[in-house]
Amino acid sequence: MKFKNLIVLGVALGLSVISHVSLARDCAQDVKDLNRVVDSLEQGATQLRVMAFNVRRPDRSSSPGYRSLKETSEVIREVSPDIAVLTEIADKESLDRLNDSFLNSEYRTFFIQGNDPVLNVAFVVRKSVPFEIEHVSHAHLKWFDPATRTEIPLFSRDLPMLIFRKSGEETPAFVFMGTHNKSKRNRDGDPQSRLWRRAQIDGAAQIAKDLKRRFGAEVPILFGGDFNTDIQESGDMNILWREFTDSFMVAKETLPLYQRITHSYIPRRGRPQYHQMDTILISKEAKINVKRADVYRFKDRNGKDKPLPRKHKDRDRNPSDHFPVVIDISIFDLLPAPVALPVAS
């Protein structure tokens, strides 16, 4: 009797395994079908590589404490972005020299002087990117600062953006906002400048909402740069998650959390601190396929990735104290109707 029961149990388990194998095959086929749909759409989509890089003040001079334009250009050349937001650009002359002297004038440069004399947010766009581009600044926006009880600029640097349009079209193909939020230096009445930084993040969310109302929520918005807060852990970002998602969360090829570190802080005493302070966000309604999201690691003389710096001297040998974020995306044209995707029966 026990032997018969075992046979019955074995048959049942066998049928269960067959059922699960069949389901797995069906799911695998559905994924293949979905990938074919996406691949067919991508044939007519705009393919772009986008970078966000805090270059840590590459200056035309060789003043101590400034990174050279050559080091910055080597990173840009290796990554080879189509579009990049660059933070801590000293001035337009530095940006143009970076492009003309070290990048073979391959890019269009976009610079508007912000509220900080030397820490500016700028863009470069490869000349082959086939869009008309409108450059907009928000440096004029004001905010009542409860710490000083005065009205001051909302953005300590700026929150500029590029609006990309196909020739002759009013509705943008997409928008790229850039940021360099207030640092964590203490202010009187505002420890780690959190009040000011939170106001900047709230202001950025409002700008995104206004763009969606103006152009339609389906127009993709990218938002990249140095947020000066921990992307993964800080509650400062909560309001932005209503409008955006982190590209690392939706990319086909992505990194685990511990490999998304973009900033190293080396205190005089204590252990090094590592955070993800830089990223590129994607508006939630955007028809964008993020194929890859990565953090570029600086290279040693042999072309191998350097480890994360543990001492000041290690960090100072790098082009910046920030690591660039790089994403590869496909931006789909706005479709008249949703594409029917296979559904498992």
Q: How confident is the model over 156-180, as pLDDT tens digits?
A: 999 999 999 999 999 999 999 999 9
Q: What SS3 state is found at 292? A: strand
CA-based torsion, 105, 111, 116, 117: positive or negative: positive
Residue with the larger pLDDT of the pair 137 and 31: 137
What is the reported pLDDT for 67? Answer: 58
Does 236 score more than 90 pLDDT?
yes
Q: Which helix (H) or strand (E) holds 177?
A: strand 174-180
∠ Cα 31 32 35 (to 5°): 85
Q: What confidence tier does 269 reach under pLDDT thresholds 50, 70, 90? A: confident
What is the reported pLDDT for 59? Answer: 60
Does 13 score more than 50 pLDDT?
no
Does 138 score more than 90 pLDDT?
yes
Q: What confidence tier does 4 reach under pLDDT thresholds 50, 70, 90? A: very low
Range of lowest pLDDT (12-26, 144-158, 175-189, 262-276): 12-26
DSSP β-bridge partners for residue 302:
none
Which ranges constitute the DSSP H helices of 216-316? 247-250, 312-316
Give dist(CA 14, CA 188) in Å, integer: 71
Give dist(CA 314, CA 180) in Å, integer: 24
- Which residue carries 């830089």 as its tokens? 278
Q: What SS3 state is found at 301? A: coil
pLDDT (average), residues 281-307: 95
Residue 103 phi/psi, 5-degree rounding, is: -120, 20
Taking the complete model, does pTM exceed 0.85, yes or no? Answer: no
pLDDT cut 90: percent of the chain above it = 73
What is the reported pLDDT for 24? Answer: 38
CATH architecture of the domain with residue range 46-331 = 4-Layer Sandwich (3.60)
pLDDT tens by residue, 93-128 = 999 999 999 999 999 999 999 999 999 999 999 999
Would you report the helix, strand and coil content of the chain in percent, each value rounded to 5?
30, 30, 40
Burial pattern 10-20, b for ≥16 Cβ within 10 A else e, equals eeeeeeeeeee
Range of lowest pLDDT (30-44, 259-273, 275-289): 30-44
Give every CB contact of residue 98 below 8 A, 6+ residues apart in sequence: 58, 69, 72, 73, 76
Range of lowest pLDDT (43-52, 139-148, 240-249, 305-314): 43-52
Contact 320, 280 (CB under 8 A): no
Give dist(CA 265, CA 312) in Å, integer: 9
Give every CB contact of residue 316 below 8 A, 6+ residues apart in sequence: none
What is the reported pLDDT for 60? Answer: 52
CA-based torsion, 227, 232, 233, 235: positive or negative: positive
